[in-house]
Amino acid sequence: MKKIIKNKYYILAFVFLIVAIVFYSLILKKPEIIEPEITFTEPINQNSNTEVLNSNINSVNSNKVSNENINVNKAAPKSPTSVLIKMSFLSQAPFANWDALHEDACEEASLIMVHHYYDKTSIGGIQQGEDEIQNLIKYEIENGYGTSITLSELSNIAAKYYNMSSGKIISGDKASIIAQLDAGRPVIAPAAGKMLDNPNFKNGGPNYHMLVIKGYDKNGFITNDPGTRKGEGFRYSFSNLLDSIHNWDATNIKNGAKQVLIFE
């Protein structure tokens, strides 16, 4: 009987030991650490994308500019075949009195015609024209100007006498003159007078002359030439007038610069 009881104690002790071992393993077992998964990818090549983006933008801009150029070319107006500016005419000798004063009054008459064009007024008759020439010459004498007026001097006179301060001396080539006429600007042109093909001049024409170019057509320039009573709308060939253009040069008029005067 004692032996049976003793065996029961052994069995209970063994069971208790097993339970204790299981409990210990469950309660005190260290948990497993699970590392988070990190996926590495190659960084985006921003420079590469930028280059592609810029390339696309440049391509778009290039196409846009190209299209704009095409549109501009399509829309560009054709140069007119003829231009004629309407303006008053004034002979430098309104009463046909070709004395020394009037022989040298082509600069004044040219400026007076252009002044009236921009002032949108007309020259009200021969007497008014004569008075305006006399008054302008008087101003020039009082202010120390000579009888032969250069383009620079005429621009200064226009600014002070007529308040026409926008005078500009430009090249006297064909393209420049036509561009001004296309823009509605009369052109004051100085010339070696004896080179001009004008049958109305006496004694072969003046040494130094000045006139107003007011238009052109396929045959040449259309002028208001104050050097003759027949000067309104007088026509010169392109080559003749362009060859004759020379600013005043006291030593040799043919050495004078090929320049003209316009007012913007």
Contact status, residue 208 vs residue 264, Cβ threshold 8 Å: no
203 vs 142: CA distance, rounded Å: 31
CATH number for the region 83-263 comes to: 3.90.70.10
Give 43-58 pLDDT, tens digit per residue. 434 444 434 334 443 4
The phi and psi torsions of 36 (rounded to 5 degrees) equal -65, 145
CA angle 137, 119, 82 (to 5 degrees): 105
Contact status, residue 195 vs residue 58, Cβ threshold 8 Å: no
Contact status, residue 248 vs residue 150, Cβ threshold 8 Å: yes
pLDDT in the model for residue 75: 53
154 vs 146: CA distance, rounded Å: 11
pLDDT in the model for residue 119: 97
pLDDT in the model for residue 50: 38
Identity of residue 227: G
Query: Strands, DSSP E only, in 22-87?
Result: 83-84
- Burial (CB count within 10 angstroms: exposed 0-12, middle 13-18, buried 19+), residue 179: middle
Compute the chain's Rg from CA coordinates: 49
Identity of residue 93: A
Contact status, residue 111 vs residue 154, Cβ threshold 8 Å: yes
The closest of 200, 199, 203, 178 to 189, measured between CA atoms, is 178
pLDDT in the model for residue 12: 63
**Residue 256 φ/ψ region, left for φ over 0, alpha for ψ in the -120 to 50 degree band, beta for the rest:** beta
Per-residue pLDDT of the chain (264 residues; tens, 9 = 90+): 444 445 556 666 666 666 556 555 544 444 333 333 333 333 434 444 434 334 443 444 444 444 444 444 445 566 789 999 999 999 999 999 999 999 999 999 999 999 999 999 999 999 999 999 999 999 999 999 999 999 999 999 999 999 999 999 999 999 999 999 999 999 999 999 999 999 999 999 999 999 999 999 999 999 999 999 999 999 999 999 999 999 999 999 999 999 999 999
For the chain, what are the domain ranges? Answer: 83-263
pLDDT in the model for residue 80: 87
The overall longest dimension of the chain from CA atoms, in Å, is: 176
